[in-house]
Amino acid sequence: MIRPFTYQALPMRVVFGPGSLAGLPAEVAALGLDRVLVLCSPEQEVTGEQVAAALGAKAAGVLPEARMHVPIEVARRAREVAADLGADGCVAVGGGSAIGLGKAIALEHDLPVIAVPTTYAGSEMTPVWGLTEDGQKRTGRDIRVLPKSVLYDPELTLTLPAQLSATSGMNAIAHAVEGLYAPDATPIVSLMAEEGTRALASALPRVVADGSDLDARGEALYGAWLCGAVLAATTMSLHHKLCHTLGGTLDLPHAQTHTVVLPHALAYNQPAVPDAVAALSRALGGVPDPARELWELAGRLGAPRSLRELGMAEDDIPRIAELAVAGWAGSGYRNPRPVTRNGIEALLWTAWTGAPPP
């Protein structure tokens, strides 16, 4: 039986395919932009310069200063640079950090963003922004920060190291998993979640085995697009709440934390979400226990599987459990199963050791 639902589509323009970066000038022209600021991380300055070169006279400059979780000082400086250069738009090339910086400028100056994602994090599909000030990350939703156009060029992901490819891909699968059991799940979003999981689970082992496999890179990026769209359309649950708490409190690395926590958060929720388990089982090749399979997949990909190896101290387990449970009311997160202090502490303990989910 189809349950009643409400679905609000977001405006989404996607240009996908190897070499699609060549279409960037046309995207800039279609938006009527004349001077765009190129944003990237310091590690991807060469890619930023390549993008600026493709834009010719329409590039106002390159700002290679994006950082994880968008520190407020970085956002302020980028806003100033954009204003000083008279930029009328931004091209954010990179992962969630570069796209997050574009969103921070859009939030204040209403400048349109074109995103050229080079990881699988999915920020380019969402109207969610984040800013970090005094160690506290604030997030919000604002349609102005949603990129006007997204170019997915698998060629730009060929340089993404195997470890980051694996963990970034698991981060994307986490969006799909939580979308499948979200309170606002809808049939179309569930289709995207199942297909996104299938594509990533199929592509990631090939990507890790041979980072230059363009077919595998394309399939992984296609999966990331779908999973990012799921993130944008649904309310997130326990998994995202735990990762947000771990990242914000202990500064654990984003994609790696998602990779470690996902099998355990899913195992916690599985008894309450049979339809999601059935969809994930199909997506993962007919396995009986999707949570266990995601743990196995992380192992096959050589990705981290314990919070201990990410640098979390054992003593932090009770504190994180307390914060995750206490901060629940009014947090905007939901969960299909009641979230209890004991339950979360047991979950974190298993994830800390690296043992398989129960």
- Minimum CB separation of residue 145 from ligand NAD in Å reads 8
Give me the residue label for tokens 């956002």: 75
- Minimum CB separation of residue 147 from ligand NAD in Å reads 11
The reply on whether position 196 binds ligand NAD by CB under 6 A is: no
Ranges within 47-106 binding ligand NAD (CB under 6 A): 68-69, 94-98, 100
Contact 306, 353 (CB under 8 A): yes
Contact 148, 114 (CB under 8 A): yes
How many other β-carbons are positioned within 10 Å of the β-carbon of residue 342?
9
- Minimum CB separation of residue 231 from ligand NAD in Å reads 6
Q: Render 2-30 in DSSP notation, one character per residue.
A: PPP----PPP--EEESTTGGGGHHHHHHH
Q: Count the helix, strand and coil residues of the chain and give each as a percent rounded to the nearest 5.
A: 60, 10, 30
Angle value at C-alpha 103, between 97 and 107, nearest 5 degrees: 145
Query: Judged by CB under 6 A, which stretch of 119-127, 188-196, 212-220, 260-268 contacts ligand NAD?
Result: 119-127
Write the interaction track for ligand NAD spanning residues 162-191; mark x where CB under 6 A is met and - where it is not. --x---x-----------------------
Tell me 294's DSSP state: H
Provide CB contacts within 8 A for 278, sequence distance 6+: none
Q: Which of 33, 160, 273, 303 binds ligand NAD (CB under 6 A)?
A: 160
C-alpha 57/C-alpha 20 separation (Å) is 20
The amino acid occupying position 100 is G
Query: Is residue 258 exposed (0-12), middle (13-18) or buried (19+ Cβ within 10 Å)?
Result: buried
Query: Judged by CB under 6 A, which stretch of 113-121, 282-290, 314-322, 341-349 contacts ligand NAD?
Result: 113-121
Q: Which of 44, 190, 270, 335 binds ligand NAD (CB under 6 A)?
A: 44
Contact 146, 123 (CB under 8 A): no
The reply on whether position 234 binds ligand NAD by CB under 6 A is: no
- Minimum CB separation of residue 44 from ligand NAD in Å reads 4
- Minimum CB separation of residue 20 from ligand NAD in Å reads 14
Q: Which of 38, 60, 126, 234 binds ligand NAD (CB under 6 A)?
A: 126
Helix (H, G, I), strand (E, B) or coil at 61: strand
Contact 101, 39 (CB under 8 A): yes
C-alpha 165/C-alpha 168 separation (Å) is 5
The amino acid occupying position 273 is V
Cα–Cα distances in Å, from 348 out to 244, 344, 351? 14, 6, 5
The reply on whether position 38 binds ligand NAD by CB under 6 A is: no
The reply on whether position 20 binds ligand NAD by CB under 6 A is: no
Query: Is residue 54 exposed (0-12), middle (13-18) or buried (19+ Cβ within 10 Å)?
Result: middle
Q: Which of 20, 41, 234, 256 binds ligand NAD (CB under 6 A)?
A: 41
Closer by beta carbon to ligand NAD, 201 or else 231:
231
Ranges within 246-275 binding ligand NAD (CB under 6 A): 254-255
Query: Judged by CB under 6 A, which stretch of 124-132, 187-195, 211-219, 291-299 contacts ligand NAD?
Result: 124-132
The reply on whether position 204 binds ligand NAD by CB under 6 A is: no
Closer by beta carbon to ligand NAD, 179 or else 287:
179
Contact 81, 63 (CB under 8 A): yes
Write the interaction track for ligand NAD spanning residues 138-157; mark x where CB under 6 A is met and - where it is not. ------------------xx
Query: Judged by CB under 6 A, which stretch of 31-39, 40-48, 82-90, 189-197 contacts ligand NAD?
Result: 40-48
The reply on whether position 218 binds ligand NAD by CB under 6 A is: no
- Minimum CB separation of residue 13 from ligand NAD in Å reads 17
Closer by beta carbon to ligand NAD, 257 or else 335:
257
Residue 92 pairs with which residues in a beta bridge?
39, 115
Q: Which residues bind ligand NAD (CB under 6 A)?
A: 41, 43-44, 68-69, 94-98, 100, 118-119, 121-123, 126, 128, 130, 156-157, 159-160, 164, 168, 231, 254-255
